Amino acid sequence: MSQPDPPPPPPLLALTGVSRTYGDRRALLPVDLALAAGRCVAVMGANGSGKSTLLRIASGRDVPTTGQVVYAGRALSQDDLAVRTEIAVVGDMVSAYPDLTVREHLELVAVAHGAGRDRDELVDAALRECRLADHGDALPGSLSSGQLQALHLATMLVRPRRLLVLDEPEQRLDPGRRRWLGELLCAQKRAGAAVLMATHHVELATAAADHVLVLGDGAVIGQGTPDAAAAALR
Amino acid sequence: MTVTREAIAVPDSTGQTIALLRVLRRGRARRQAASAAYWIYLIALVVAVYGGAQIAAAFHALRHPPPPTALTPRVLHAAPAGLAALAVIVLLVLLRDALWRGPVTLPQVTVDWVLGTPVDRGRLLRPRFRASAAAAVVAGAAVGIVPGAALVGLGLGGHSSASVLRLIGAAMLSTALLFACGTGAAGLIERYPAAALRLRRLTPAFAGVAALFGGLAAWTALGRPPGALSAVALWSGPWGWAVQGMTALAGGPAPWWPLATGLLGALAVAALAWGDRAAAGVPGAALRIRAQTIGAMSAAVLSMDTRGLARAYGSRGAASRARLRLRPPRRRELVLLWRDLLALARAPSRLAGATALALLAVGLIAVAGHGGQASLVPVASALALGYLAAAWLCEGARLDAEDTRRSENLPFRFESLAWWHAAVPCLVLLVVAGVPVLAASLAAGDPRLLAWLAVTVPVLVAGALVNVFRPRNHPDLFGGFETPVGNTAAISVVFWLVWGPVLAVGAMTLLLTRAIDSTSPGVLLRTVVIGAAVAVGLCAYASVRARRLRSS
């Protein structure tokens, strides 16, 4: 007698009927999305299709016009302490302290998340991982845009994380670093993190995602495995 | 520090984080303090050098206040309602400040790097609320000197130094408490979006109350309304309580002023306590949008970009979609006219503002020219208003000058745009100002009025275009050059800002003043010919500036 399949794990993040309008402009039509620990969902679509809106809602940085967002069993709010502790968001950082070095930025985030004695070790590891080891003492003004993006990605490595929300994390990265990013996200997934990312890169989605959601004019126009979505997008 | 499937305990990291940030930014804080001290020294020096004599004279006048005049009783009658109207306006300004800024704000970098961490928001935000409250109280006390000194200057409040000090002190205390009330309430508005919505809805009512009190003040100054009406104004709310001390010490009817001041003080303490408690809960979204708006506005101020300032203020949460459409023309020559009309149609407030300014200008010049004698100042003022109307209508040109890449796909050379962009503002101004001028011309049987209008409008529009296509500002502008009579920076900046109006308004003031004074057809002809030449010359100059702007 065969064992029945184990029930799927409960989703860490669940969006139900989530939509967003700005004035009379409908940026996102009702969308459902469930994301479990150790899984990665990639959101793809043309510019203006609603990817960033969906991610802002999924990270609690925007409030949906309709529908609900549940994280770890409770309504999601960016002001919730647990949300600030567990969800790492990369993509909407637009500034950096002009007088703090790369290392000091990471130290700040690590300490804010209670790193304590492990701080230096964590920061060194993140700098190495993101290939910023030679730029630890550099000020943000001297970094290239790709290095700044690497700094933003490094911030998620110096803090605890259960859910990663990444809005086009591949932007400004060269092809080599994009491949590295795919491997990094797979490693995060294997370690148990849930990953939700918006991307324009089919290769990155294929490398890291388990499921792809394709948006067009704010509506879901397709979804499935990365390969199927890639074929549909082509 | 791991990746995990399980819930993560919230760390108690606030103290460490704030201490680390303080250590890391110590050098910057020192530099900022030194810079602030330098500016305070500079301002104090400038005030002492240029305003020392006036300040000493003001102090002397306050120590020896002037005797009452015939106007004094009227001012005293109008004071309760008039001051209450001002207090309502001040309170409204303080409250509406919370809709875009508020007492609790964070710099963009802190929003980006600290707000998303589990740092205790109360410990991060409350000190900022307290600093804002302290600054508001100090500012309120400083503002209070103005009405106090005005009442003393009008012969109210007694002749001894002690009575003068009492009156000004009461005014300072009342306005400081009013500012404290406003800041506390602003904190609540920032914290609760529903309160912000309510304030937006109540703003017209506040404005109505201020207008009502203003009307009542005029009535009490000129007539004899029932005394109970002033009492209603004084007890109608904190704005009334705030003016009772001043009114009573000026000799007005406010016998219960200690009670009113006590009520205001209690309200201020309560508002600050509520605001302080609410500061910890200001939503992250509100802090983010405020940081963005303040950042954009600061950048606009530093680069002296008034359009950027207005854009930053107007973009708070705005999501607009063009509603009004105009069918594009078939002829290429009409495409810029269509584009400029569209720019005005998309910003109807510009059209309304320009119309109001143009009508004001026509009215003022009619007054200035009444009796066939025109003096320079009213004519120049009217032309300055007309210039502002023209400048408001040059929106299409300004959009092209703001970013020269925008017009790259148009079939025109950039330097020729100044000419094309003159058409719509000229047409609109001629129509808007033409109606009353035509009526006046017909009524007076004087066709010269139409000729003056026809020649003035192109000159003002061309002047506006000279300003639109001004060079980009660059650091050298603020550095200036050393000359035997001082540094040229101030004058360079002023001319960079107002070169267009100086040329247009200056030239037309001279022309029109002479033309109004004379009925000779020769003078009229000369005015028209010279005016047309000035308009063409200014447009050509704008065109040259456009070419330089593009190549810079």
How does pLDDT run across A24-44, given as a tens digit for each residue?
A: 889 999 999 999 999 999 999
Helix A175-190 with A145-157: angle, nearest 10 deg: 10
What are the CA-CA distances from residue B191 to residues A27, A65, B185, B277 (Å)? 26, 20, 10, 10
Query: Nearest Cβ partner of B7 from A72, A93, A159?
Result: A72
Q: Which pLDDT score, from 0 to 100, does residue B323 have?
A: 65
The model's pLDDT over B146-181, given as tens digits with 9 standing for 90+, comes to 999 889 888 888 778 888 899 999 999 999 999 999
Which H or E run includes B178?
helix B161-191
pLDDT at B514 over 90: no
Burial grade of A35 (CB within 10 A; 0-12, 13-18, 19 or more): buried
The model's pLDDT over A58-90, given as tens digits with 9 standing for 90+, comes to 999 899 999 999 999 999 988 899 899 999 999
Does A99 contact B13 at a Cβ distance shorter than 8 Å?
no
Note whether B181 and B268 are within 8 A (CB): yes
Backbone angles phi, psi at A43, to 5 degrees: -105, 125
Q: How far apart are the first and last CA of chain A?
A: 44
Nearest CA in chain A to B110: A97
Q: Which of A84, A149, A151, A195 to mutate to test the interface with B (most CBs of B within 10 A)?
A: A84
Average pLDDT of span B126-132: 97
User: Which residues of B fall below an 8 Å CB-CB distance to A?
Assistant: 1-13, 16-17, 20-21, 24-25, 27-28, 108-109, 112-114, 116-119, 121, 281, 283-285, 288, 319-321
Tell whether A55 lies on the interface with B, counting CB pairs under 8 A: no
B74 — pLDDT class (breaks 50, 70, 90): confident
Q: Which pLDDT score, from 0 to 100, does residue B372 have?
A: 64
Please tell me the total number of residues recorded for chain A in this structure. Answer: 234
Which residues of chain A are within 8 Å of residue B16 when distances are taken between CB atoms? 111, 116
Q: Which of A85, A90, A184 to mutate to test the interface with B (most CBs of B within 10 A)?
A: A85
Does A61 contact B320 at a Cβ distance shorter than 8 Å?
no
Does B321 contact A23 at a Cβ distance shorter than 8 Å?
yes
Give the rounded percent of residues in chain B with a pLDDT score beyond 70. 96
Tell whether A181 lies on the interface with B, counting CB pairs under 8 A: no
Note whether A135 and A147 are within 8 A (CB): yes
Tell whether A89 lies on the interface with B, counting CB pairs under 8 A: yes
A209 — pLDDT class (breaks 50, 70, 90): very high
Q: How far is the C-alpha of B247 from the C-alpha of B136, rounded, in Å?
A: 23
Does A112 contact B112 at a Cβ distance shorter than 8 Å?
no
What are the CA-CA distances from residue A167 to residues A144, A151, B289, B523 (Å)? 19, 15, 19, 70
Note whether B439 and B515 are within 8 A (CB): no
Query: What pTM was estimated for this model as a whole?
Result: 0.77
Average pLDDT of span B284-294: 92
* For the ranges A200-209, B1-10, B260-269, the one whose mean pLDDT is highest: B260-269
Average pLDDT, chain B: 89
The model's pLDDT over B230-259, given as tens digits with 9 standing for 90+, comes to 899 999 999 999 999 999 999 988 999 999
Average pLDDT of span B422-444: 93
Question: Which of A41, A11, A19 minimizes the C-alpha distance to A198?
Answer: A41
Tell whether A95 lies on the interface with B, counting CB pairs under 8 A: yes
CATH superfamily ID and name for A13-233: P-loop containing nucleotide triphosphate hydrolases (3.40.50.300)
The model's pLDDT over B436-491, given as tens digits with 9 standing for 90+, comes to 999 988 988 888 889 999 999 999 999 999 999 988 877 677 667 777 777 777 77
Q: Which pLDDT score, from 0 to 100, does residue B321 have?
A: 53
Does B8 contact A162 at a Cβ distance shorter than 8 Å?
yes
Q: Which pLDDT score, from 0 to 100, does residue B247 have?
A: 94
Q: Which pLDDT score, from 0 to 100, does residue B319 have?
A: 46
